[in-house]
Amino acid sequence: MVATEIKRDFPLKGMLVIDVATFIAAPYCASILGEFGADVLKVEHPVGGDPCRGFGTATRRGDTLAWLSEARNKKSVTLDLRSKEGAKIFRELCRKADVVCENFRPGTLEKWGLGYEVLAKENPGLVMLRVSGYGQDGPYRDRPGFARIAHAVGGLSYLAGMPKDTPVTPGSTTLGDYLSGLYGAVGVLLALKEKERSGLGQFIDVALYESVFRLTDELAPAYGMYGTVRERHGPHVRVAVPIGHFRTKDDKWIAFACTTDKLWARLCDAMGRPELASSGLYGESARRMEARHEVNQIVAAWAGSLNRDEILDRCIASKAPCGPLNNIADIYGDRQFAARQNLVPREAPGLEGDVVMVPNVFPRLSETPGRIDSLGPQLGEHTDEVLRDLLGLSPEEIADLHEKRVV
Amino acid sequence: MSEQANEQPLPLDGIRVVDVGTFIAGPYSASIMAEFGAEVYKVEHPLAGDPFRRFGTATKRPDSSLAWLSEARNKKSVTMDLRMPKGVELFRRLVEKCDVLIENFRPGALESWGVGWEDLRKVNPGLVMLRVTGYGQTGPYRDRPGFAHIAHAIGGLSYLAGFPGQTPVVPGSTPLGDYMSGLYGVIGILLALRQRDKTGRGQVIDIGIYEAVFRQLDELAAAYGMFGKVREREGAGTVIACPHGHFRTRDDKWVAIACTTDKMFARLAEEAMGRPELSSSALYGTKAKRLAARKEVDALVGAWTMSLSRDELMDKCNEAEVPIGALNNIADIFADPHYKARGNLTTMDVPGVGEVVVPSVIPRLSRTPGRIKTLGPPLGNATDEVLGALLDLNQAELKQLHEARVI
């Protein structure tokens, strides 16, 4: 730590964040705060810890790659919140904290005497992020929530798939978790900003399904005004033609997005068929929408006649918007990812000799870029250090807590 | 501006934002800031305005589609032709008076008009500038046109949406990547404003839309890096849990069921399905057995869901605390009691348009919640007001600028 601490300034330097949440949703908010300088204490159950440690592909250290990547910069402190002593220590930590992130089922922290009201009485400036499947109120609040369910309830899953066929996962099962972490971070930063004026904290109530629903552009207003119910459209997008995915000769896939007549004309140039962009044929958007099927067929036939890289070269030369459907092997070989350093190698204790590649900090700030100083910690790695330095407990007191399995 | 005096204070009161972006990616950052009290000036071309005004479903007001009305909420429209020297001068003077500038031109465009970052920081050293483009401000692809549809492909999300070996589909919604970029953008801005409050210096936040998409793919990168694993399309399910997918119901609707643990599967089998033998250790009681017999397990669950209506399934699973959700379409969402109880839809009366239903503000802050005062403004509705108040232009000067089509 000492070596890397030289002269770096961060927007959240000196801030203390307690992450008592699990998996990705609320913890991702804490990860972002940690990337930009906050000290993040990951509070976990002494037995097993955060189940995210078991989510996905295991490393030889026992915990998974998802854990290593997403618990970056955090310190692990074990604490049994169900025990009286554990709850008391948690309250003491919260008294010193600026932010607490949690995603228990609504009412759980209250049951342990650790609800927002209790914590805010002792620390009126505390900002608390509460993430749950359905939010802190409403008829479904007690139902278990997962991102897959949230994608369904929020209206996204219904829209992913071939028309009338089985709806598919919208690309990734954890999207709703990440989105909720992002909304959580927005809420926390807003609350911290407001606190500068009033001195008071508040809580932010994020529901997974709401984070998904908020991103559905005109879906709600179009139903409200015209009764339009949007359906699944497979690889295509209905607002313009051609926007979709097309198979190439080498059995790869490419995406085109011609949202305007000008962009369509450029694609016709790339295809070597400028006449298709004439007003007699498909030059105008209205005409292409009518002849959606023919236009898509023409593009599909062309895409199927060339390898992916040839198509990309032609489209880049004529400035037509296109991109390969990258799998992760493509991404590792992509020059843009390399130039932007979107992947960074890190090492972790217990994995000596191995390099773990993780997505870099995002967003990218010019003067005070974020950091990844360490990957996900081992369970309880920092318990003693934090109890000693932050709460001033003696070695005997700490030993006693270990013995009672409070930590 | 004056009417705000009586209102409850908001976190971003007094912050001024110039939003010269188009469509959703950068502008969504400005929308969130406006929901939480910032004054947002949407700078648009005097004739055409933001092309987003014509995106999607039209309304009775020719300059405002439904998507525009919803997403340009709370903004004031100020027209300015940046291709005219006089327009650029006004823009520079406006940015001088503001805290934040949001743009999503192709890299180099603002620089070519003499209002790039280096020019603007000279007149306003505390300025925070958000730059959103398809590929970011650097790297070999920086000059390529960028759209969310392409960014989903480049970022690795589209490759994963669909059935194994079949056509990759749109991951639910076309502008997902735009919204994600807006979220990362506003996080960057709030971090940078905090840093500016400490040092007086602003900075640039540089966002590639593909990066916002790529950042949310959990262990995809790490698993390829360590084990060479290339994730493929997984249809309606996921390879890491079972049953975890979408199932058709007797009334031809769909539900999502997500059993991530043995305990949840036991509740599904024993309490909801009434088939306790299925969760015995001899059959499918352990995750390893279920993953090995994925097809059989999914078929058993699918046969059961086909024997009941969606509402019956929801009741049985909710009673047994099995994670389940309806794959809502927008009609379902409008009828959902939980959406209603949480106030997720807001109805606004828009002059010249009528009633418009839009998604409400999230994230939900307990003490200083955001608000929707107005929906997307008519083109140029605040040009004279803003230029008069902030740049001290008098009536005669404004008239001249209008006549010269600078504004």
Contacts of A135 in chain B (CB under 8 A): 342, 364
Partner residue opposite A367 with nearest CB, options B135, B185, B201? B201
Closest CA to B20 of B113, B123, B95, B73: B95
Helix axes A261-270, A308-317, angle to 10 degrees: 120
Mean pLDDT of B359-381: 98
Specify the length of chain B in residues: 407
pLDDT at A38: 98
Strands A99-102 and A16-19: parallel
CB pairs under 8 A between A and B: 494
How far is the C-alpha of A28 from the C-alpha of A109, rounded, in Å?
A: 20
8 A C-beta contact, residue A367 and residue B203:
yes
Residues of B in contact with A167 (CB under 8 A): 236, 246, 254, 327
| Among B178, B197, B298, B332, the one annotated catalytic | B178
DSSP notation for B234-248 = -TTS-TTSSSEEEEE
Q: Which residues pair with B372 in a beta bridge?
A: none
Interface check for B60 against chain A (CB to CB < 8 A): the answer is no
User: Which chain A residues have a beta carbon less than 8 Å from that of B146?
Assistant: 321
> pLDDT digit string (tens) for B60-98?
999 999 999 999 999 999 999 999 999 999 999 999 999
Give yes or no for A203 touching B (CB within 8 A): yes
Q: What is the pLDDT of residues B219-262, one digit of tens each?
A: 999 999 999 999 999 999 998 899 999 999 999 999 999 998 99
pTM: 0.96
Answer yes or no: are the C-beta atoms of B91 and B9 closer than 8 Å.
no
Q: Is residue B333 predicted with pLDDT exceeding 70?
A: yes
Residue B1, pLDDT > 60, answer: no
What are the chain B neighbours of A166 within 8 Å (beta carbons)?
A: 163, 235-236, 246, 248, 254
Interface of A with B in 81-120 (CB under 8 A): 116
Q: How far is B399 from chain A (nearest CA, A)?
A: 34
Q: Are A381 and A56 in contact (CB under 8 A)?
A: no
Beta bridge partners of A100: A18, A128
Q: Which residues contact A206 (CB under 8 A, 6 or more apart)?
A: A25, A26, A129, A130, A131, A132, A135, A180, A183, A184, A187, B362, B363, B364
Q: How far is B156 from chain A (nearest CA, A)?
A: 5
User: Distance between CA atoms of A188 and A122, rounded to whole angstroms?
Assistant: 19
Distance CA B260, CA B262 (A): 7
| Per-residue model confidence as pLDDT tens for chain A (407 residues) | 444 455 789 999 999 999 999 999 999 999 999 999 999 999 999 999 999 999 999 999 999 999 999 999 999 999 999 999 999 999 999 999 999 999 999 999 999 999 999 999 999 999 999 999 999 999 999 998 899 999 999 999 999 999 999 999 999 999 999 999 999 999 999 999 999 999 999 999 999 999 999 999 999 999 999 999 999 999 999 889 999 999 999 999 999 999 899 999 999 999 999 999 999 999 999 999 999 999 999 999 999 999 999 999 999 999 999 999 999 999 999 999 999 999 999 999 999 999 999 999 999 999 999 999 999 999 999 999 999 999 999 999 999 999 999 99
Give the C-alpha separation, A97 to B9, whole Å: 24
Across the interface, which of A138, A224, A226 has its CB nearest the CB of B341? A138
d(CA B182, nearest CA chain A) in Å: 10
Residue A363 with chain B: CB contacts under 8 Å: 184-185, 187-188, 205-207
Structure confidence at residue A386 (pLDDT): 98
pLDDT above 70 for B3: no
Percent of chain B with pLDDT over 90: 95
CB-nearest to A328 from B186, B231, B333 is B231
Identify all chain B residues contacting A57, using CB atoms and an 8 Å cutoff. Answer: 219, 222-223, 226-227, 229
| Identity of the residue in A152, A233, A245 whose CB atom sits nearest the CB atom of B326 | A152
Nearest to B376 by CA among B114, B23, B14: B23
Residues in chain A closer than 8 A to B212 (CB atoms): 362
Asked whether the beta carbons of A93 and A43 are under 8 A apart, the reply is yes
Do the chains contact at B194 and A178, CB–CB below 8 Å?
Answer: no
pLDDT over threshold 50, residue B353: yes
- Nearest CB partner across the interface for A367, out of B154, B203, B364: B203
As given in the structure block, the two tokens for residue A286 are: 């209205």
Chain B residues with CB inside 8 Å of A117's CB? Answer: none
Residues of B in contact with A211 (CB under 8 A): 362
Beta partners for A74?
Answer: A40
C-alpha span between B168 and B160 (Å, rounded): 7
Contact A182/B at CB under 8 A: yes
- Whether B4 has a pLDDT exceeding 50, the answer reads no
Considering CB atoms only, which of A206, A215, A334 is closest to B173? Answer: A215
User: Taking all residues of chain B, what is their mean pLDDT, rounded to a whole number?
Assistant: 96
Helix, strand, or coil (residue A370): coil
Residue B155's nearest CA partner among A173, A326, A363 is A326
Q: B interface mutation test: which of A193, A209, A256, A261 has the most B CBs within 10 A?
A: A193
Whether residue A239 and residue B56 make contact (CB cut-off 8 A), yes or no, is yes
The pLDDT assigned to B296 comes to 96
Which of A218, A248, A267, A335 would you mutate first to test chain B, the one with the most B CBs within 10 A? A218
pLDDT at position B5 is: 47
Alpha helices in B85-240 (DSSP H): 85-96, 109-112, 117-123, 148-154, 176-199, 209-214, 220-227
Interval B91-115 mean pLDDT: 97
Query: Which of helix, strand or coil describes residue B57?
Result: coil
Listed by number, the residues of chain B in 303-342 with a beta carbon closer than 8 Å to a beta carbon of chain A are 318, 321-334, 336-339, 341-342
Confidence of residue B6 (pLDDT cuts 50, 70, 90): low
Cβ under 8 Å to A: B residues 220-259:
220-227, 229-238, 240, 244-246, 248, 254-256, 258
pLDDT value for A153: 97
Q: Mean pLDDT, to the nearest integer, of B199-226?
A: 97
CA A254 to the chain's CA centroid: 25
pLDDT at A6: 58
Helix axes of B176-199 and B25-35: crossing angle, nearest 10 degrees: 60
Task: Name the one residue in this structure whose structure tokens are 């070519």.
Answer: B112
Residues 256-275 on A with a CB inside 8 Å of B are: 257, 259, 263
Query: At B195, is the secondary structure helix, strand, or coil?
Result: helix
Probe site for chain A from B173, B262, B310 (most A CB atoms < 10 A) = B173
Tokens at residue A288, please?
A: 């292409």
The complex scores an ipTM of 0.96
User: In 10 A of CB B201, how many CB atoms?
Assistant: 15
Put simply, the answer to whether A232 touches B326 (Cβ < 8 Å) is: no
Determine whether A177 is an active site residue.
yes
Alpha carbon of B44: minimum distance to chain A alpha carbons (Å): 19
Residue of A nearest to B325 (CA): A149
* Alpha carbon distance B24, B22 (integer Å): 6
Q: In this structure, how many other beta carbons lie within 10 angstroms of the beta carbon of residue B112?
A: 10
B362 close to A (CB below 8 A): yes
Handedness of CA B317, B319, B325, B331 (dihedral sign): positive
Long-range pairs for A289-292 at CB < 8 Å and ≥24 separation? A289/A240, A289/A241, A291/A241, A292/A236, A292/A241
Any chain A CB within 8 A of the CB of B372? Answer: no
For residue A187, which amino acid is it? G
Q: What pLDDT score does B146 carry?
A: 84
CB contact under 8 A, A65 and B192: no
The residue annotated as part of the active site, out of A177, A205, A261, A269, is A177
Cβ–Cβ under 8 Å, residues B155 and B128: no
Contact B11 A228 (CB under 8 A): no
Closest CA to B211 of A179, A362, A292, A267: A362
Of A155, A172, A259, nearest to B216 by CB-CB distance is A172
Minimal Cβ distance to B139: which of A68, A186, A340 = A340
Q: Report DSSP state, residue A11.
A: T
Asked whether the CA dihedral A351, A357, A359, A361 is positive or negative, the reply is positive
**Residues B236, B245: contact at Cβ < 8 Å?**
yes
The closest CB to that of A328, out of B136, B203, B224, belongs to: B224
Contact by Cβ (8 Å): A36, A370: yes
Which residues 81-120 of B are in CB contact (within 8 Å) with A?
none
